[in-house]
Structure 1
Amino acid sequence: MTRLVCWVFSAALIVVASVAQAQDLRVATVEREPFSMMSEGGFEGFSIDLMNRVTEDLGLSVEYILYDSFSGMLDAVETEDVDAAIANISITADRETRMDFSQPMFDSGIQVMVQSEQGMSPSVFTALFTKQIGIAVLSALALLFGGGMLMWVFERKAQPYFDRPLKDAPFPAFWWALNLVVNGGFEERMPQSRAGRFFAVGLVISSLFIVSIFVAQITAALTINAISENIQDLNDLDGRRIGTIEGSTSASFLDVRDLSHIGFADTEALFQEYEAGGIDAVVFDSPILAYYVAERSGGDARLLDRVYRAENYGIAFPTDSELRERVDRVLLGLREQGVFDELTTKWFGTAYSGR
């Protein structure tokens, strides 16, 4: 009898221990400011706060497991290595075929971040220091130098100004050609030889076209530069260096639009490259870009007004997870209690209210 009681008691302890162990949820996440972040005190962020409230209402404890990549986090959900995953996980049709999702917990979308007006370099300097303008200036100088030296060949025995040895001729010859093109030349230095007069008349006439082409090059460069800096729409990004997160819904969106882009493993590397000037624009999730502009850009970045392809974030679960329905009920209750609004204000301020 005593043995039976001990056996029953031991079995009960094992069951209780198993149940207690089952209460620990393993939740995968990645660092995505301000949804999930590592700090000295542990994990924090909008998604972390929300998950803590959910598990608290369910009477469960939670263990967060940090993954290096978004794909690694989602793979862990598929293989059931974790009970759930939370961060800024967009609910898509493709992902729904591989895992289950809670009801939407955050309204998002794809947005474009570019340099702000105050962070732009003056257009005139940007336009003038270009390869095309440099080639035009060098071509003009070469033409003036060549024309002046050719005039020296024609006139060196016909008038005193050009009567000088070769080593002393280059600058006076160049100076004569420059004044001929700019001021029409000097009367006292009018060509005397027949070849010199014929060449001077041709140089003056051709200089009209040379000056017109040179001015047109500068005007075109300034116009193109002003247009290219005025990015107001996704179409203005054609030919620009675009950055996003590899494997994200934003990357898929850019692929569909046939816009070439550079993929980064995480947002920290993406923003560092943007700050270093390696990319001209960032296309990614609206709330994350809004947080960066408000908290880290120092006024050097802005968001285009339009939000492309609205998306919803959700909590990911392995397929047919029994936990999903319980979490959905808690999420509904938290929304009714205003917890979502409180967390949005806490992490994004009053200016951002979702999309």
Structure 2
Amino acid sequence: MMARSVRLFIITLLAAFVPILPSAGAAETPITLHVATRTVAPLVQKDNGRLTGFSIDLWNAVADRLGVRSDFAEMPDIDSLLASVHEGKADVGVAAISITADRDKTFDFSQPMLGAGLQILVRGKSDQGAPNPLQGFMRLLLSPVILVWLGIAAVLIVVPAHIIWFLERRAPGGIIPERGYFPGIFHALWWAAGTLATQADQMPRQWLARVVAVLWMFTGVIFVAYYTAQLTAALTVEQIQGDINGPDDLPGKRVATTLGSTAATFLKGQHARVQEFAAIDAAYRALLDGTADAVVFDAPVILYFAEHEGKGRVQTAGAVFRKEDYGIVFAEGSPLRKKVDEALLELRENGTYAQIYQKWFGAN
């Protein structure tokens, strides 16, 4: 802790004189900051053994503004990265670090450096294998669409059945042979169901019952046509989307993410069967191997994988949710934060931030 205090004191003095460093002469040796990071493309990744990525490029630009050097230390997961900063082993943490209220109680954060949020990743249709016809039929049979329409059909059968029973039970030669409610109502229910589904196999004898029967045949035609259209639409949507289409579909599913991430905390609250991995690459492998149903993680990371290594094999499901911001993390009370914030503002104003963003995420 003593060494950390001395280093931070030197940093504070150095940062105060950053504007005059260029004229101090080449003999001056800039201070070195210990930077904790972790690999999570495209924020941090390795290119021929050299760290690169959006967060690394942005931090290097900040370090140039401050006139300091960086000594990067790779951490296996976000918990190790934060612990390194908290224990003073690192002066700053740079990667894909979400700013949360809980973390803000223990750490200081820079101003947001990138808007993010959570995204769901599922296997692509071509990577899911041949569908099981029986499983698909049972899922459709028990789907909310079918249950709603069965309820509507039940109402449309019971109501006219009672009308026909009441009008036909005393008609000579009517379609209701028994005058009592039982079993006469069963004859009426059979007639109403048959008329709704196809057409009446026999017509009532009583004149008012015949009017009801004609109206009911038209109702049956409309019902069947509308039901067929709705069922076709539901099947089309299911073929396009799949089982997981948003956060509401995650409970009970096997969902992979990284250890200690905000995504893991969210998924536990959703009662998903969470699989936590040290690295996001392991979560991707679990998804592609079929041992996980989905991956939930930071949207920029998910989208990058879907457009590069996972292209054609995975696809996103639903929109970005639980929006968060990335920031640079410091130990609480660090004098570095103010200078880093000033440098980030300067990089936005002079266009450097836009150039770095466009390099890794495109014009949009």
Change (3 A) 1:253 1:118: same
- In 1, the alpha carbon distance for the partners of 2:93 and 2:112 equals 14
Among the aligned pairs, what percent are the same residue?
Answer: 35
Map residues 1-355 of structure 1 onto 2, 5 A cutoff: 23-125=31-133, 127=135, 229-350=242-363, 353=364
Structure 1 residues not aligned, in runs of 5+: 1-14, 131-222
* RMSD across aligned positions (CA): 2.8
Corresponding residue SS for 2:120: strand
Q: 1:310 to 1:79 in 2, by over 3 A?
A: same
- 2:73 counterpart letter in structure 1: I
Deviations 1:30-66 (A, max 9, x none): 1111111223242111100001000101111111111
Please give the alpha-carbon distance, in whole angstroms, between the structure 2 residues aligned to 1:37 and 1:289: 14
Q: Distance in 2 between matches of 1:75 and 1:123?
A: 46
CA distance in 2, matches of 1:56, 1:65: 19
Report the CA distance shift for 1:128/1:61 in structure 2 as closer, same or farther (over 3 A). closer
AA aligned opposite 2:362: G
Deviation at 1:97, TM superposition (A): 1.1
**SS where residue 273 of structure 2 aligns?**
coil
DSSP 3-state at the match of 1:317: strand
3-state DSSP class of the match of 1:307?
strand
Change (3 A) 1:308 1:128: closer
4+ long deviations beyond 4 Å? 19-22
Structure 2 alignment gaps of length 5 or more: 1-13, 15-23, 139-234
Deviation for aligned residue 1:280: 1.1
CA distance in 1, matches of 2:285, 2:305: 12
Look up the equivalent residue of 1:85 and give its one-letter code.
Answer: G
Distance 1:59 1:126, change over 3 A: farther
Shift of 1:102: 0.4
Q: Calculate the TM-score normalised by the size of structure 1.
A: 0.63
Give how far 1:99 is off.
1.1
1:239 is paired with a residue whose SS is coil
Q: Which amino acid aligns with 1:88?
A: A
State which structure, 1 or 2, has the greater radius of gyration over its C-alpha atoms: 1
Q: Helix, strand or coil for the counterpart of 1:35?
A: coil
Give the number of equivalent residue pairs.
243
The alpha-carbon deviation at position 253 of structure 1 amounts to: 0.8
In the aligned structure 1, how far is the partner of 2:289 from the partner of 2:357?
30
How far apart are 1:125 and its partner, in Å? 4.8
